[in-house]
Chains A and B, each alone.
Chain A
Amino acid sequence: QQPVQSPQAVILREGEDAVINCSSSKALYSVHWYRQKHGEAPVFLMILLKGGEQKGHEKISASFNEKKQQSSLYLTASQLSYSGTYFCGTEIWRGSTLGRLYFGRGTQLTVWP
């Protein structure tokens, strides 16, 4: 039930774009995105509910394809501060699993000047 993230790692130059994907084999209720810098706590980026909603947060946005049970995180014109590990957390169905989040293994993003 753990979602699969791809790619495992991304290396970018400042100003370049990146896409991180998250897919599940189960029907999803919601997808959550977090960023964790080395040695720090994960920080919430955004949550997407079923309905194909797309959200944005500064130059970071995400989409949720309910039919494919996939979500993608888009980082536009990356900045040095974007470096870190990005995790998606998927919530399968609130009623049966009490809203438990299953996190992927993460995508390590490195932005170079």
Chain B
Amino acid sequence: EAGVAQSPRYKIIEKRQSVAFWCNPISGHATLYWYQQILGQGPKLLIQFQNNGVVDDSQLPKDRFSAERLKGVDSTLKIQPAKLEDSAVYLCASSPGSANTGELFFGEGSRLTVL
């Protein structure tokens, strides 16, 4: 079974530029999550989708971050404009059921460096 796919794996941009990350969850998984993991810290939830609807985006900095999950399958996370403090690994995860009923399957992440 294919795992959660993310791209790009690495991205270096200058502050005020924009960037987009893509995630393809495990086939059939209804719930998709985007987490931000700053170096030395645990993952922090940015947004959670159930199919193509937003369940929780309370911790998403909406002035610069946006995310969508068209057709309830893959998802994109965009940052515009980027700030230095956005440097982090952006992890996508999926799960088959509703909110946190069990295991989350994580992708390898997209590492963003903002200069």
Binding site for B on A (CB under 8 A): 2, 30, 32, 34, 39-44, 47, 87, 89, 91, 94, 97-101, 103-106
Whether B100 pairs with A41 at a CB distance below 8 angstroms is no
Given A41-B3, A98-B48, A100-B100; 7 other pairs, CB 8 A cutoff: A32-B104, A34-B104, A42-B91, A44-B105, A99-B101, A101-B104, A104-B42
- B34 interface residue per 8 A CB criterion: no
Whether B42 pairs with A41 at a CB distance below 8 angstroms is no
If A2-B42, A87-B42 touch, whether A41 touches B108 (CB-CB below 8 Å) is yes
When distances are taken between beta carbons in the complex, the residues of chain A under 8 Å from B106 are: 41-43
Residue in B45, B48, B100 with the greatest tally of chain A CB atoms within 10 Å:
B100
When distances are taken between beta carbons in the complex, the residues of chain B under 8 Å from A42 are: 43, 91, 104, 106
* Overall SS of chain A's interface: mixed
Name the residue on B nearest A42 (C-beta): B106
Name the residue on B nearest A104 (C-beta): B42
**Residue interface mask B73-115, A partner, CB < 8 A = 1:** 0000000000000000001000000111111111111000000
Q: CA separation between A42 and B103, bound complex, in Å?
A: 11
A-B pairs with beta carbons under 8 Å apart, 28 shown: A2-B42, A32-B104, A41-B108, A42-B43, A42-B91, A42-B104, A42-B106, A44-B103, A44-B105, A87-B43, A89-B42, A94-B99, A94-B100, A97-B56, A98-B48, A98-B55, A98-B99, A99-B98, A99-B99, A100-B48, A100-B99, A100-B100, A101-B104, A103-B42, A103-B44, A105-B40, A106-B41, A106-B42
Name the residue on B nearest A97 (C-beta): B56
Q: Which 5 A-B pairs have the closest CB atoms?
A: A99-B99, A103-B42, A99-B100, A41-B106, A44-B103
- B4 interface residue per 8 A CB criterion: yes
When distances are taken between beta carbons in the complex, the residues of chain A under 8 Å from B44 are: 103
Whether A41 pairs with B55 at a CB distance below 8 angstroms is no
Q: CA separation between A97 and B44, bound complex, in Å?
A: 14
Q: How far is the CB of A9 from chain B (nearest CB, A)?
A: 11
Q: How far is the CB of A5 from chain B (nearest CB, A)?
A: 8
Q: CA separation between A70 and B61, bound complex, in Å?
A: 31
User: Which of B3, B45, B98 is within 8 Å of A101, CB to CB?
Assistant: B45
